[in-house]
């Protein structure tokens, strides 16, 4: 079924919003009617994202966008990704998250930063910029939603289930409103 976001973007409503003066609500590529034109992330970074997400899998567009955003705040991102990828087997042997973070800190504070930032981006869909301002880059494609999408609906401001407006209204006959002939 078509989600509200997909319907909104594909219906040309983005162009209408732009005409009304709301250019910051849609990414530039989507506002122009195309897909996001983001360069592909390097293979080690993609492998790292796959390893951190487990068997769930990660949306490649999200990985590419996260790579692009993290490049702005983590110098030497690609080398850090290779180092963190190599350290994952050693991390998985540790029992607690605190021990894992301590090991990463002892190897390099930048490894710990990449580990935390990448997990935050993949699971929550948010990335911090250089000033520490958190930007939401994804919602439906994040790993946390993919893991529970079969049985939990993501939080929303809508009062009904997803796409509830396409179903015919349910009419309930109440005793007070029955007409007797």
Shared-domain flag, residues 99 and 149: yes
Angle at Cα 148 formed by Cα 88 and Cα 85, nearest 5°? 10
User: Domain check: are 49 and 105 in the same one?
Assistant: yes
Q: Are residues 55 and 144 in the same domain?
A: yes
* Same domain? 56 vs 120: yes
73 within some domain:
yes
Of 26, 44, 84, 37, the closest CA to residue 65 belongs to: 37
Rounded Cα gap, residues 66 and 58, in angstroms: 11
pLDDT tens series, the chain, 181 aa: 445 555 445 555 444 444 444 434 434 344 334 456 788 999 999 999 999 888 677 888 999 999 999 999 888 999 999 999 999 999 999 999 999 999 999 999 999 999 999 999 998 889 998 888 899 888 778 887 777 777 776 565 556 666 766 776 666 555 555 555 5
pLDDT score at 24: 41
Residues 137, 150, 40, CA angle at the centre, nearest 5°?
35
**Both 142 and 116 in a single domain?**
yes
User: Do residues 55 and 122 both lie within one domain?
Assistant: yes
Query: Is there a contact between 139 and 6 (Cβ–Cβ < 8 Å)?
Result: no
Same domain as 75, residue 25: no
Residues 31 and 46 in one domain: no
Shared-domain flag, residues 9 and 27: yes
Q: How many domains does the chain have?
A: 2
Contacts of 25 by beta carbon, 8 Å cutoff, 6+ apart: 17
Q: Which domain holds residue 80?
A: 38-153
User: What phi and psi values does residue 128 have, to the nearest 5 degrees?
Assistant: -85, 140
What per-residue confidence (pLDDT) applies to 13? 44
Q: What is the pLDDT of residue 6?
A: 56
């Amino acid at each position: 079924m078509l989600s509200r976001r997909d319907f909104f973007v594909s219906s040309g409503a983005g162009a209408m919003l732009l005409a009304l003066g709301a250019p910051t609500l849609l990414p530039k590529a989507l506002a122009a009617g195309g897909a996001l034109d983001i360069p592909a992330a390097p293979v080690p970074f993609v492998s790292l994202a796959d390893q951190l997400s487990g068997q769930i899998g990660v949306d490649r567009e999200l990985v590419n966008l996260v790579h692009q955003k993290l490049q702005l705040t983590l110098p030497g991102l690609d080398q850090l990704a290779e180092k963190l990828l190599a350290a994952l087997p050693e991390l998985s042997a540790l029992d607690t998250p605190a021990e894992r973070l301590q090991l990463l800190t002892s190897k390099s504070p930048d490894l710990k930063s990449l580990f935390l930032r990448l997990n935050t981006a993949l699971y929550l869909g948010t990335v911090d910029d250089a000033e520490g301002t958190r930007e939401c880059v994804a919602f439906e494609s994040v790993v946390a939603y993919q893991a529970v999408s079969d049985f939990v609906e993501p939080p929303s401001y809508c009062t009904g289930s997803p796409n509830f407006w396409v179903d015919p209204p349910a009419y309930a006959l109440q005793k007070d409103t029955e007409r007797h002939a």
